[in-house]
Structure 1
Amino acid sequence: MQYNKYSINSYRKYGRLYGSYLFCNKWLMVNDADLLRDIMVKDFHIFPNRYAMNLGQSPLRKMLFFMRGDDRWKRIRAIVSPAFTSGKLRQMMASIAGIADTFVQNLDKFAKNGQVVDIREHFGAFAMDVISACAYGINVESINNPNHPIVVNARRMLSVDSSLSNILSILVPPIARFLRLDPMDRQAIDYFDKLTNQIVTERKQCPKDKKVIDFIQLMIDNKVDSNAIIDDNNSHSTGDHMLTAEELTAQGILFFIAGYDTTSASLSHVVYYLSQNKDKQQILREELNALD
């Protein structure tokens, strides 16, 4: 049975709150929107921790998304959060707009020739391009450059299979840690680690008038310490307002993990439902035109 069907059946049978087991771990399943809002927002300080799956020995251990809600998590969140203010995001809109124009031009070729298009593939390329530009300041144009190193390594990193390493890392993390398993492609992660360090080095030598506005640059401006190595026994050993090289790599990779599939899948569904409800297309067009 598919997991979503299992969840729906369990909800109908047990209600909005019920307990479950994952091996020896107890799980509380919450199926109430108001309660979820309290857990994720209002009472987040009480429920800050996520499931501690095994992330191996790679920089992924320093990824904000997977860290436990301790002082180290708070420090990284305080450093990273200012990069997502409306003002900072607005500075990246020129890059996103250019990628969107290229996306439309590519689709226009299919429309003029009356060809069928794999929209998920193109939205995936769009998401890949936006993430590459906003995180690393690199214009990939992945739909025309599928063998670009960023594209190849991102896909290798994001591909999840039913290997023993992945199964143990998710279901039995202590055993995976004992065996020193890596759930994601280590070579791909090493590529992004080297890429991040290379960009940081180049940016520090770049004149201010030639700055590229992206996530890495915002972190550099926030005094990234590219030579620091965090001491696991002292979360403040590098200073409260600095990211270590590993932490910076991890947050860059987080863009792909959190943004690639979610963006491409959401946009694909939106386009599909619009195609099935043509009357809504005009409403959407009018709303978008009103924003100009």
Structure 2
Amino acid sequence: MRQIILSTVLIVMFSVSTLLVNAADIENGLWMYLPLNEGAGQKVADHGPNDFDTELSKTAPKWVDAKHDDLRRVMEFDGKSTYVKIDMAGQGKDIDSHFNAKKGITICAWVKPLKVGTDAHGQSRQPIVMKGAGGQWEFALYIYDNFGAGMSVWTCPGAGVSEPSTGGTAPQGKWIHQCGTFKLKEGVRVYVNGKKDPVAQADDNGNGPCEAGERPVFIAHREDGQWLNAVIAEVYMWDRVIDINEMNLAMKTIGGLAVQPGGKLTTTWGNVKRR
């Protein structure tokens, strides 16, 4: 009996230590983390290392019940006028890793698409996370009108560098965890619900992503008139391409991992939540 207990304790200790090491790894390159879980009020906080100030649209997104086992109060965007804005360049910490051959970029979020085509924009897609405007187009994590998950990376004038999507991979009224990655010479990969195989992918066509963009990041809005009608939570951005295990860790530990009693750990995913 004593041996069984000892074996069980060792297994638990190994599992916890592995989880905490992974938690430390996932903070590597973290650029922004917006839980969007305040549940009330007119402000949302960035719990990433850059501590970005954020701004809500004049008519703020609504706080709603997530109707999800792990998410509670989250933000609903109306597809017409509501957004969250993060002016990284204006705060002296713009993200430039998407044109760094050694780094790349990853964007992840929980999203539940409600309706599509709610704006008057001519394109059949709306952004979860977006950065760019005229002459400074950079990248976006997208929901398409065919309820497809996608991602785009552009040249500064707006030509596609890599823009894959696949219809039906972001079902209407269903929560999904969507991640998009881009790296030079590899292109875009889009992942849903932590599955190993991407639901959409496209090679880097060699045009070269925009290196001169200084526009703000927006949640659920593109500056030329795209608006997403969806419920969104747990928005992350890394200045590198994270792997599928890290995507799963972020997906399964909503709000961050707990710090061990006594505060013995100095670098865990849980610490990000507490900054």
Q: TM above 0.5, one fold?
A: no
TM-score by length of 2: 0.23
TM-score by length of 1: 0.22
Using CA pairs below 8 Å that are at least 6 residues apart, which structure has the higher relative contact order? 2
Q: Quick check: which one's strand share is greater?
A: 2
